[in-house]
Structure formats: C-alpha cells, structure tokens
Amino acid sequence: MRIRLDEQLSQLNDELIKMGGVVKKAIADATRALIDQDASAAKQIIEADDEIDSMEKEIERLCLNVILQQQPVARDLRFVSAILKIITDLERIGDHASDISEFTIYLADRPYIKDMEHIPQMADMTMQMVTDSIEAFVKRDLELARKVIAKDDEVDELFVFVKNELVELINENPSNGDQVIDLMMVTKYYERIGDHATNVAEWVVFSLTGAHKDSQIM
C-alpha cells in the first residue's frame, strides 16, 4: 500500500515539474514576443494555453485518484492538497501569459512610446519567482519558499514605479493614452504572475509545516 502511494506521489511530483516548465516557457515566450512586437509568436502562445489547461485537469484527476484510493493523511495529504492549489495558480499564470500576448498583438503595429526596460525587468523577476517556487516545492525547501514570498514586495514596488512612469507619459502627451493603458495592463499581468508565484510558495510552506499564512489548516 505504501509503495503504491509513494509511486503515485512521485508521479504527481513529476507532472507538476512538467507543468511548471511549460508555464515558465509561456512567460518567457510572451515576454520575448512583447519586446520584439512579434504578433505571430503572440498568437502561438495564446493557442498553446490549451496545453496548460489540459495539464491542470490531468494533475487534478491524479490528485483525486490518490485521495480516493489511498486516503493519505498528515504530510502526504498536505502534499496532495498543496498540488491541487498550486496547479490552479500555475494555470492562471499561463492565462496571464496569454493575456500579455493578446496585448502584444494590439501593440505590434506601432512603435513603443518608451524604452522597454522596466517591464522586461518585471518579467525576469516574476519568472524567477515562478522557477524558485516550483523548485522549493520539489526540493521541500522552506527557506527558498519564504524568499519567494519576500520577493513579491520588490515586484510590487517595481509595478508602482512603472505605473508612475506611464502616467507621466500621458501627462506629457495625452495622445499616448491608448498605448499607456495597454502597457499598464501588461505590467499588471506581470504583477499578478508574481502574486501567483507567491501563492505557490505559500502552499509550499503549508505542505511542509501545515500552516498557511497565519492559519493552521491541518
């Protein structure tokens, strides 16, 4: 019985790693398309979002099978429960990569009104948070999970900085308004990716300690 449970938990771990890899690639590809103003690449990213949705459903199915067949308890149950929560955040990160790509299509036919410096910086920070949060889960690394959670403040600060920059561009020239709004939405999506990476890290903490934020769950 224990051997079978360990096999199923190992499979869940492997499938989560695969889903994380696909999600990280979606963010990287969406950022590259945004910087290059590549509408064709952006369309491919939007179409590829179905793969992430399918992976979420398959991992959810595997989790429910483990719960129904093995009735895990304590740490094993926290592990499975955390995966169920994590895949939801990963799926939403994939959605945000698709959202960014939709704006890339809108923005592809006109020059950017500002240098693309800080938005890619936000993208790099949030991508690293996603990478580290998944690594923290795989390696059961509580310290790394807490570092991801702390990193979210830096992303929020950069978001405010970029937002203020964009508002200033409208003040300088109201005709910049349409593109400023689009870029502000893109920036917000990166900020949300950071939030979801933080959620993943918080579920890592839960899986290891039984505590989620300030509440004891199990």
CB 169, CB 176: distance < 8 Å: yes
Task: List, for residues 82-141, the tens digit of each pLDDT value.
Answer: 999 999 999 999 999 999 999 999 999 999 988 888 899 999 999 999 999 999 999 999
CA distance 163 to 53: 31
* Residue 6: predicted pLDDT: 86
* Residue 15: predicted pLDDT: 97
- Phi/psi of residue 192, nearest 5 degrees: -70, -35
CA distance 101 to 38: 9
Is pLDDT at 214 greater than 90 in this prediction?
Answer: no
Task: List, for residues 25-48, the tens digit of each pLDDT value.
Answer: 999 999 999 999 999 999 999 999
Three-state SS for 45-65 is HHHHHHHHHHHHHHHHHHHHH
CA-only gyration radius of the chain, Å = 19
* Residue 116: predicted pLDDT: 82
Q: Alpha helices of 71-141 — where are they, by DSSP H?
A: 74-107, 118-139
**Average per-residue pLDDT in the chain?**
93
Domains assigned to the chain: 2-216 (1.20.58.220)
For residue 42, CA distances in Å to 33, 49, 53 come to: 6, 11, 18
Task: List, for residues 131-184, the tens digit of each pLDDT value.
Answer: 999 999 999 999 999 999 999 999 999 999 999 999 999 899 998 899 999 999
> What's the residue count for the chain?
218
